[in-house]
Structure 1
Amino acid sequence: MSTASTDRAARCAEAARGLTVPLLLHRNATEFGDLPALTALGADDDTLTWSALRDRVTHAARGLSALGLDSGDRMLINMSSRPEHWLLDLAAVHVGAIPSTVYATLSPGQLRYLAEHSGAGIVVLEGEAELARWAPILAGVPTIRHVVTVSGQGSGDGRVVTLAELESTGAAAHRADPGAFEKRWREVPPEAPVTMLYTSGTTGDPKGVVLTHRNVAHQCVLIEDTVKTPDHSRSLAYLPLAHIAERVLGIYYPLYRANHVTICPDQRQLLAALTAVRPISFFGVPRVWEKMAAGVQARIAAADERVRAAFDAASTAALESYRLRAAGSPVPPELAARVAALDEAVLRPLRTGLGLENLVWPGSGAAPIPVSTLLYLAGLGIDVFEVWGMTETTGSCTINTPEAFRTGSVGRVLPGMELRVAGDGEILVRGPLVCSGYLTAGGGVEPITDADGWLATGDVGVLDDDGFLTITDRKKELIINSGGKNISPARIESLLRAHPLIGQAVAIGDRRPYVTALIVLDEEIAPMWARGKGLPDTSIAALATDPLLHAEITGAVDAANAELSRPEQVKAFRIMPTPWTPETGELTPTLKLRRRIVAQQHAAAIDALYDTPSAT
């Protein structure tokens, strides 16, 4: 590590020292009390300032204490993204408890597992529908002492209290003894847990990742040091708070920077939210960026020849500049001037329509994003920078920046973190972002690092000579065909998903003679494409067997195969007649493939591909 890197790491460590979430909220209420903190999309009149937010956190924390929530206790939250979610999460942290948001898409059986494993004494539910869904769990899990409902009326069950009742009780307790709250939060040390997030469980039961105040404070300092954005800027929270990216970018980083968060509770409203907020930075999971790119592609394709020609000229110039910068080369002044002029005339209006004209740092992570999507977006003037990390590393661990990036890589390791690649290609990391461990069934925390502090991430990758990391696959997901060849399914799937019509793709081939694929159509783009072709039935089920669409997908497979070695090439595929969702089981709540479930649920379709290899 260079002297500059060492100095930077030391500076960041010092900036994070001693910080806790309650300390940051206290600072914001004291120094920036009148600035906006939280707004629900479309409800600007109900914006909570930092001062008002802390007052409500105070009352909710005292109310939770009255219900018996104490230091180290777990509290599950099963509700949508709304200001009350932030309020109750922060309230639990102020009494030293560990809040844990669970995905709304989980099945009753999965919810029961989390309730039993966490040993949570309090569960927060949105309203009566959630209360009814949880009724069998509440009856069968005796460790749950109380339920807080955010909306709706009270219940005949003595364990159930409304948020209004909770805050009223807490406000009265605070008036009677205002010093108790201040004393309590000041006793929360940086090494205490701040949250627990259950991993998606792509290969087995979810694991409860325990993160500390020190973890999240260090992550916030590193983001500030790496991604240059103004103080008190506006940001958009649209991912579930069970997702590590939103937890950091939607709660902890805004606390650290005293930013103004607008909450979008429904991803279908994302475009409206982006155009309302027009954020300085925006993190999109790959599917979000892919849909944006596909939407612009469709719009340009439907435009007249003059518009298409203007776009092609502007996009070509933007891409030329992008490729030079990605290679670390200077952009000639004449090219920079041409890009600026064409951007102002052609590309910026397109970005304005997406609410992205002010972006300083567009990011992507959580799964691989096709290089073709990155290049298309770069041609729009949107340089999307990939990051890599996991829940266990408090989110990002490596990052690309405008000053230093490589297309297709996930960037360089963050200051203070160490990264090395083991002999089998697995990425190992250690440093201040690595979590305390996994929650055990008995309530303890089991460390997940080896004796030297290294975390085996399960991801496989390569480091180039300039320190840029490229992820090639998951260690447990590598395909080993019947000839003994190691094949990366992620690379194949990324190339397939580069086509706008393909929403999901899974490569099959472990212990098989060749690679095949199951392909799922994009629910929005495929019907739009079909209408443009004049097809009478635009349903996904009908399109899955339509010859014209089959020919289009065949072209996409052929294009992917042209980029692959012979053993990697897809020899047969099947277009699935229904979408895959977390509810149908093939995807996790963060939209990662659950390969084991895919293999189980679609075994007959997979076997048929090997009976009829001529399907392509």
Structure 2
Amino acid sequence: MTSTSADSAASSTAAASSSTSARSVTPPGDRPVGALQWQAPTLIRIDEHTTIPSMLEDRVRRSAGRPLIARKQEIGEAWQTVTAQAFYDEVQRVASGLIGMGLEAGARVAIMSRTRYEWTLLDFACWTAGLVPVPIYETSSAEQIAYVLSDTEARLVVAESITTAELVRAAAASLERPPEHVALTVLSLDTGALHTITEAGVGVPREQVAARTAALTTSSTATIVYTSGTTGSPKGTVLSHGNFTDLCSNAHLWMPEIAMGRDSRLLLFLPLAHVFARFLEVFQISGEGVMGHVPDTKNLLSDLASFHPSYLLVVPRVLEKIYNSADARAGNGAAGRVFRWAAKVAVDYSRALDTPAGPSRALRAQRAAADRLVYQRIRALVGDNADWIISGGAPLSPRLAHFYRGLGIPVLEGYGLTETVGPIAVNTPRLSKIGTVGPPLPPMAVRISDEGEILLKGPSVFQGYRHNPEATAAAFTDDGWFRTGDLGSLDRDGYVTITGRAKDVIVTAGGKNVSPAPLEDSLRGHPLISQVVVVGDQRPFVAALITLDAEMLPTWLRSHGLEPLPVSEASSHPQVLASLNRAVQHANAHVSRAESIREIRVLTADFTQANGLLTPSLKVRRGAALKRFAAEIDAIYGGPAGAGS
């Protein structure tokens, strides 16, 4: 196995940074006709034995007695540290138990739980025992659970609660299984699942566990992740140990500031059923820092304050809500004017950082004043120790990115897919351009097709979709490039910009192609707006469906001198509609007239996972929304598409 120390990582990254100005996009004469291509420099090549368990073993060899994980106590705000050695020993005991339960190498073990320490423990125990952990979102329906259980032929399910376990049993009972099929075991974390498993491992020799671990290679299946998808049935994305370990190894070298320092602290609160959180789980454990878990964002501010993370992983909606909350609370009086002045100073200051001259003396003085009045309070919300925010899952508006950098917490926006174990490209502390998702992580290669689609090659690209060779074949070009389905571009420095999803492009009745993402992203920055769906396919103009943010509504109404209103009434209130229309005008200023939104409909209920309009990663299920609100869309245009509208 190839490994490096923190010092050599920093040295390699410095070398990569120093050569940045020399690297370039493939010269035009060497590019495929009509395509743009960029290849990041390869920093490290792993060998076939660099598996996920080997990364944990390396961490124990480097720092057995140092903290690896912090566990929050049930009462109070204290966190108890778990050393690398203690975690490794517990992993070994649980791995022995899984083998003792009769699970053969390669067997699938489903995990259905919120984010918590036990999930990470089970993940590493399964990998150590040569098993394949399969995540199930804890919000999944019985039908979705049954699909995953059937497709993976899971032997064991570890659920979080008694209720979740009963849901799994009901889903399993609905399946038609052949008589010879081995019975499915369902355990619950809240009723002693780990004790049951470890008891089964009594008498299993450590040598048997070691043999399972040693038999793994980078091509061994590490997990099967079912894409939540915005349309259609989920696909089982098969990811190998090498998909994880190659990406982790190079990511540490590419951006050692994040997890290679002993003061690195990551608090996971996004679902571990999502592949990006799973990647960060392995990334943090293979570095030098500490990781903590919280099950949700209910007490996020107090959790951040007590854990003191050095970096955060968020989706843009979290950053939008922090900004919108501060804006709405400030109101329209003197406090509101101060906040909006400070926000403008932050944006101006950040933009000035990208100019040759940098911020002027006057702008620096304004920023210092704004820091005392506003920025310090906002920084305190993220735990007063955060150096970086990593944002992914959806585009972040450039203005918000400038705002956060200007107040002192740079946002490193990235881009990734389930099929690539998460990050494909990411801005780093040294290589960053706001408005892009950064350069590709080495050793990924990115190419833009003639149609503008982002194509990929590299060791983190998945092995295929389980039991679905047709979908696997359709996901690749004839010459082996993975089709992301995303539209984007590459600049001359190799930075990637995402412009939308190919399948979401709207073609108006006049033949104009409109990508809805830029308009939707701009509108979601308004404090009243929760979700937006831009519509107009085969219609004479572009329109939008908008939902209101029920959490922000009372604060906004109060700050604007209005009495409390339910969402159903606020959706038609003249002042609310006037504010939304001003937001639309602002969004329209950045697109052509043919692409601009001419009309809006404010819906009386928000999109949620429960009503099937949001995925577990908080993306809008566009197809479901268009179908659910077909009548509202037709009303905008005076009838169905093609009916003379």
Q: Same fold (TM over 0.5)?
A: yes
The offset of 1:467, in angstroms, is: 2.0
Supply the AA of the counterpart residue of 2:198.
E
Could you tell me which of 184, 188, 193 is aligned with 1:146? 184
Partner of residue 152, structure 2:
118
The offset of 1:536, in angstroms, is: 3.7
Partner of residue 323, structure 1:
351
Q: Is 1:603 aligned to residue 630 of structure 2?
A: yes
**Could you tell me the percent identity over the aligned residues?**
34
Distance 1:153 1:359 in 2: 36
Kindly indicate whether the alpha-carbon contact (under 8 Å) linking 2:240 and 2:463 is maintained by their aligned counterparts in 1: yes
Change (3 A) 1:519 1:426: same
Q: Is 1:452 aligned to residue 479 of structure 2?
A: yes
Distance 1:441 1:173 in 2: 40
Q: Is 1:73 aligned to residue 107 of structure 2?
A: yes
Change (3 A) 1:210 1:470: same
Change (3 A) 1:273 1:339: farther
Distance 1:450 1:612 in 2: 40
Distance 1:523 1:323 in 2: 33
Greater shift after overlay, 416-425 or 141-150? 141-150
Kindly indicate whether the alpha-carbon contact (under 8 Å) linking 1:437 and 1:447 is maintained by their aligned counterparts in 2: no
User: Alignment partner of 1:432: what SS?
Assistant: coil
Distance 2:191 2:40 in 1: 53
Q: Is 1:266 aligned to residue 320 of structure 2?
A: no
Partner of residue 273, structure 2:
242
Q: Is 1:376 aligned to residue 403 of structure 2?
A: yes
Change (3 A) 1:182 1:424: same
Could you tell me which of 4, 10, 13 is aligned with 2:45? 13
The offset of 1:464, in angstroms, is: 2.0
Change (3 A) 1:52 1:566: same
The offset of 1:253, in angstroms, is: 0.7
Distance 1:349 1:461 in 2: 36
Kindly indicate whether the alpha-carbon contact (under 8 Å) linking 1:516 and 1:573 is maintained by their aligned counterparts in 2: yes
Partner of residue 389, structure 2:
362
Change (3 A) 1:434 1:526: same
Deviation string for 1:492-539 (max 9, x for gaps)? 211211211111000011111111111011121122212333444432
Distance 2:443 2:591 in 1: 37
User: Alignment partner of 2:106: what SS?
Assistant: coil
The offset of 1:131, in angstroms, is: 1.9
Q: Is 1:556 aligned to residue 583 of structure 2?
A: yes
Partner of residue 3, structure 2:
none
Distance 2:340 2:562 in 1: 29
Distance 2:72 2:334 in 1: 35
Partner of residue 157, structure 1:
none
Change (3 A) 1:447 1:30: farther
Partner of residue 197, structure 2:
166
Change (3 A) 1:436 1:180: same
Partner of residue 31, structure 2:
none
Partner of residue 33, structure 1:
64
Partner of residue 118, structure 2:
84
Distance 2:216 2:375 in 1: 47
Distance 1:395 1:335 in 2: 41
Partner of residue 204, structure 1:
232
Q: Is 1:183 aligned to residue 221 of structure 2?
A: no
Partner of residue 134, structure 1:
168
Change (3 A) 1:587 1:531: same
User: Alignment partner of 2:189: what SS?
Assistant: coil
Partner of residue 502, structure 2:
475
Distance 1:125 1:73 in 2: 17
Kindly indicate whether the alpha-carbon contact (under 8 Å) linking 1:448 and 1:455 is maintained by their aligned counterparts in 2: yes
Supply the AA of the counterpart residue of 2:45.
A
Change (3 A) 1:417 1:526: same
Greater shift after overlay, 45-54 or 104-113? 45-54
Distance 1:338 1:131 in 2: 58
Distance 1:303 1:533 in 2: 9
Supply the AA of the counterpart residue of 1:66.
G
Q: Is 1:218 aligned to residue 241 of structure 2?
A: no
Distance 2:362 2:69 in 1: 42
User: Alignment partner of 2:407: what SS?
Assistant: coil
Kindly indicate whether the alpha-carbon contact (under 8 Å) linking 1:56 and 1:167 is maintained by their aligned counterparts in 2: no
User: Alignment partner of 2:299: what SS?
Assistant: helix
Supply the AA of the counterpart residue of 1:350.
R
Kindly indicate whether the alpha-carbon contact (under 8 Å) linking 2:416 and 2:422 is maintained by their aligned counterparts in 1: yes
The offset of 1:85, in angstroms, is: 1.0
The offset of 1:152, in angstroms, is: 4.4
Q: Is 1:24 aligned to residue 55 of structure 2?
A: yes
Gaps of 5+ in 2: 1-15, 25-38, 641-645
Supply the AA of the counterpart residue of 2:131.
A
The offset of 1:18, in angstroms, is: 3.6
Distance 1:376 1:334 in 2: 19
Distance 2:331 2:556 in 1: 11
Supply the AA of the counterpart residue of 2:327.
Q
Gaps of 5+ in 1: 155-161
Deviation string for 1:221-280 (max 9, x for gaps)? 23222331352321110110121221111x101121142111111122222222222222
The offset of 1:356, in angstroms, is: 4.9
The offset of 1:367, in angstroms, is: 0.8
Greater shift after overlay, 27-36 or 549-558? 27-36
- Provide TM-score, normalisation by structure 1: 0.90
The offset of 1:375, in angstroms, is: 3.0
Distance 1:273 1:17 in 2: 39
Number of aligned residues: 597
